[in-house]
C-alpha cells in the first residue's frame, strides 16, 4: 500500500496546496485512478450499481465527478439481500466468492456480505496500515479476544496478523478468565478487542489477582464501538494493560477504513483505499472543517462487493492537514477529531440536548471506581427523564450526577447498583436504553 494519504475534493474540503507533485495531489491522482478502475471492473456486471449509476463506466477526472452520484444506504443493501437471499451488490458470479460474513444486526436485520479472494487481499492491504501504525511485525503474538462468529472485523484482524507472519491466537468460546490464562501462557504481545471487553478483561484480572502489567502485552487494538479515541476510556485501557492503545474503525459492508493517530486524539481515514465525504448534520450539505458530520465512504479496491457513496451513519468532525504539516512529515490523510463520536441512529435528544453514547462514556469512564453503567431514557408526566445506573466501588452516585450536570447541562438521576449486576459486552456495547414512545416528538 502506498504510504501517502489524502485526496482533495474541492466540494468537500479546503483548497489543496499548489502543484500536482505534492503529497495530497499525488494521492488525489491515485484515488481517481482507483475509482476509475473500480467502475471499469464493476460496470455493467454489477446490477445494483448499473441501476444506480448507469451500465457504462463513468469518466472520473476529479473526485468532484462522483459528488452528483446517488448515495447508497444500508437499507437498500438489506432489502436487496432479503429479496434474493444473497448480497445485492455483487459483481462476479456467485461461485467466485469465498468469504461469507454478516453484520451484527444490532440495528435491524443482519446484512450478508460476500468477498472474493481478491477482495480479501484488499482487506489485508487495508489492515497493513493499521498494523504498521501499531508496529506489529513478525514475531509478535496477536491475541484476538472474540467468539468470532460470522462478523468480519475480528476474522480480518486475525488473518491480517497471519499475513504479517505474526502468531495469531484465537479464543472463540472461551471464558474471560480462560482467555487471560491463555494470554499469559502464550506470551501475547498484542490484544485485539472491543474497548468494553478490554476493560472487562482488566476487571476480571483484578478480581482474580492477575497482574496485567506482568504480561508482555505492549499494544491493545480496539474497534467495534467508540472508546479508543475517547481520552477517559483510552486512558483506563492503557493504564489497566500498561500498553499503548490503538483505535481502529471499520464495517463489514465497507471494510477496515480507519486507524488511530499515535497520540490517540482521533482517527485517520485510510484514504489510499477509501474516498471520504462529509455531510454536515445541521444542513445536509458539505461539512466545513471541525463541523459535526456524517461520514460517507466509497471503497476503492473491493470490486466484488463495492459500496459507492455509502452513508455510514457514523458522526465525526473532519480536519484536513495543513500543507506545511504534510511537508514536514505529518500523515496527510484526513483526520477525524475524537474518532467516531456517535451514530445518527444512536443519538438521543433529551430536553433539546443531543446526547451521544461517546459523551456519556467519556464522563462515566473518568471515574475509575465505576465498573459498568447503563443509561435509561424514559417519560414521566410528559417530561423526559434520564436514569444512570452505575456499578460503583465507592457507592457515591452524587459525584457522578454532579459531573453530568456540569458537562451535559442536564439533571440525571444516578443510582448505584450491585457490582456485577449490569450486562457485559464482548461485542458492541449498548448502554443507552430509550424507553420513550417513538411516536412522541423527542425533547
User: Which domain range does residue 380 map to?
Assistant: 348-434
Is a pLDDT exceeding 70 seen at residue 13?
no
Terminal C-alpha separation, the chain: 47
Structure-block grid coordinates of residue 353: 440536548
Average pLDDT over residues 32-53: 95
- On the question of pLDDT at 148 being above 90, the answer is no
What does the angle CA 300 – CA 301 – CA 304 come to, to the nearest 5 degrees? 120
Query: Running DSSP on this structure, what letter comes out for residue 266?
Result: E
442 is a domain residue: no
Decide if 439 is inside a domain.
Answer: no
Residue from 346, 354, 263, 279 nearest 317 by CA: 279
Nearest to 223 by CA among 333, 130, 114: 130
Of 344, 379, 398, which closes a domain?
A: 344
Asked whether residue 398 is domain-assigned, the answer is: yes
Average pLDDT over residues 145-152: 87
The more confidently predicted of residues 260 and 153 is 260
Query: Biggest alpha carbon distance in the chain?
Result: 65
Which residue among 296, 328, 344 closes a domain? 344
Task: Return the pLDDT at 397.
Answer: 93
118-122, 201-205, 306-310, 431-435: the lowest-pLDDT one:
431-435
2: pLDDT strictly greater than 50: no
357-364 helix and 397-408 helix, angle to the nearest 10 degrees? 140
**What CATH number has the domain bearing residue 410?**
3.30.300.30
Average pLDDT for 412-434: 84
Summarised one tens digit per residue, pLDDT across range 171-181 is: 998 999 999 99
Q: pLDDT averaged over the chain?
A: 87
The answer to whether residues 328 and 430 belong to one domain is: no
- 20: confidence class by pLDDT, cuts 50, 70, 90: very low
Read off the pLDDT of each residue in 40-51 and give the average, rounded to a whole number.
95
Distance, in Å, from the CA atom of 440 to the CA atom of 443, rounded to the nearest integer, reads 9
Please indicate, yes or no, whether residues 340 and 371 belong to a single structural domain of this protein.
no
Tally of domains within the chain: 2
> Is residue 441 domain-resident?
no
Is the bond leading into 153 cis (omega within 30 degrees of zero)? no
Query: Are residues 418 and 355 both part of a single domain?
Result: yes
Q: Which of 2-16, 31-45, 171-185 has the lowest mean pLDDT?
A: 2-16
Query: For residue 352, what pLDDT band results from cuts at 50, 70 and 90?
Result: low
Is the domain of 338 the same as that of 402? no
110: left (phi over 0), alpha (psi -120 to 50) or beta: beta
Tell me what pLDDT residue 9 has: 30
The pTM is what? 0.80
Q: Are residues 261 and 404 in the same domain?
A: no
Residues 128 and 219 in one domain: yes
The length of the chain in residues reads 443
Task: Output the domain CATH number for residue 164.
Answer: 3.40.50.12780
Is residue 325 domain-shared with residue 354, that is, in the same domain?
Answer: no
Residue 443 resides in a domain: no
**What cell was used for 395?**
457507592
Q: Kindly report, residue by residue over 374-405, the tens digit of the pLDDT.
A: 999 888 766 778 899 999 999 999 999 999 88
Last residue of a domain, one of 344, 373, 400: 344
The reply to whether 319 and 407 lie within a common domain is no
Amino acid at each position: 500500500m502506498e504510504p501517502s494519504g489524502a485526496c482533495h475534493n474541492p466540494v468537500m474540503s479546503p483548497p489543496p496546496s499548489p502543484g500536482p507533485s505534492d503529497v495530497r495531489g499525488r494521492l488525489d491522482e491515485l484515488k481517481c485512478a482507483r475509482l476509475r478502475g473500480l467502475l471499469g471492473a464493476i460496470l455493467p456486471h454489477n446490477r445494483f450499481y448499473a441501476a444506480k449509476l448507469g451500465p457504462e463506466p463513468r469518466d472520473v477526472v476529479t473526485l468532484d465527478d462522483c459528488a452528483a452520484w446517488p448515495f447508497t444506504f444500508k437499507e437498500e443493501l438489506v432489502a436487496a439481500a432479503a429479496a434474493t437471499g444473497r448480497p445485492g451488490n455483487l459483481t462476479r458470479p456467485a461461485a467466485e466468492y469465498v468469504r461469507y460474513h454478516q453484520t451484527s444486526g444490532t440495528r435491524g436485520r443482519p446484512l450478508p456480505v460476500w468477498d472474493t479472494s481478491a477482495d480479501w487481499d484488499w482487506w489485508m492491504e487495508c489492515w497493513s496500515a493499521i498494523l504498521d501504525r501499531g508496529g506489529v511485525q513478525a514475531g509478535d503474538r496477536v491475541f484476538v479476544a472474540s467468539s468470532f462468529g460470522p462478523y468480519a472485523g475480528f476474522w480480518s484482524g486475525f488473518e491480517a496478523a497471519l499475513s504479517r507472519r505474526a502468531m495469531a491466537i484465537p479464543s472463540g468460546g472461551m471464558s474471560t478468565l480462560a482467555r487471560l490464562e491463555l494470554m499469559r501462557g502464550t506470551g501475547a504481545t498484542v490484544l485485539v478487542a472491543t474497548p468494553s471487553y478490554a476493560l472487562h478483561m482488566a476487571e476480571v484480572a483484578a478480581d482474580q489477582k492477575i497482574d496485567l502489567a506482568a504480561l508482555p502485552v505492549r499494544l491493545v487494538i480496539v474497534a467495534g464501538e467508540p472508546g479508543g479515541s475517547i481520552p477517559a476510556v483510552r486512558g483506563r485501557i492503557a493504564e489497566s494493560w500498561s500498553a499503548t492503545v490503538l483505535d481502529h474503525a471499520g464495517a463489514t459492508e465497507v471494510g477496515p477504513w480507519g486507524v488511530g493517530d499515535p497520540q490517540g486524539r482521533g482517527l485517520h481515514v485510510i484514504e489510499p483505499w477509501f474516498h471520504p465525504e462529509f455531510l454536515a448534520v445541521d444542513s445536509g450539505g458539505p461539512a466545513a472543517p471541525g463541523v459535526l458530520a456524517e461520514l460517507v465512504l466509497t471503497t476503492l479496491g473491493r470490486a466484488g462487493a463495492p459500496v459507492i457513496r455509502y452513508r455510514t451513519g457514523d458522526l465525526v468532525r473532519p480536519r484536513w492537514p495543513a500543507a506545511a504539516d504534510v511537508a514536514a512529515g505529518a500523515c496527510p490523510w484526513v483526520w477525524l477529531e475524537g474518532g467516531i463520536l456517535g451514530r445518527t441512529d444512536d443519538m438521543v435528544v433529551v430536553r433539546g440536548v443531543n446526547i451521544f453514547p461517546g459523551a456519556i462514556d467519556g464522563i462515566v469512564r473518568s471515574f475509575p471506581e465505576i465498573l459498568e453503567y447503563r443509561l435509561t431514557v424514559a417519560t414521566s408526566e410528559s417530561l423526559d427523564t434520564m436514569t444512570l445506573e452505575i456499578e460503583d466501588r465507592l457507592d457515591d452516585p452524587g459525584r457522578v450526577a454532579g459531573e453530568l450536570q456540569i458537562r451535559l447541562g442536564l439533571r440525571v438521576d444516578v443510582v448505584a447498583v450491585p457490582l456485577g449486576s449490569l450486562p457485559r459486552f464482548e461485542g458492541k456495547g449498548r448502554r443507552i436504553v430509550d424507553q420513550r414512545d417513538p411516536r412522541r416528538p423527542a425533547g
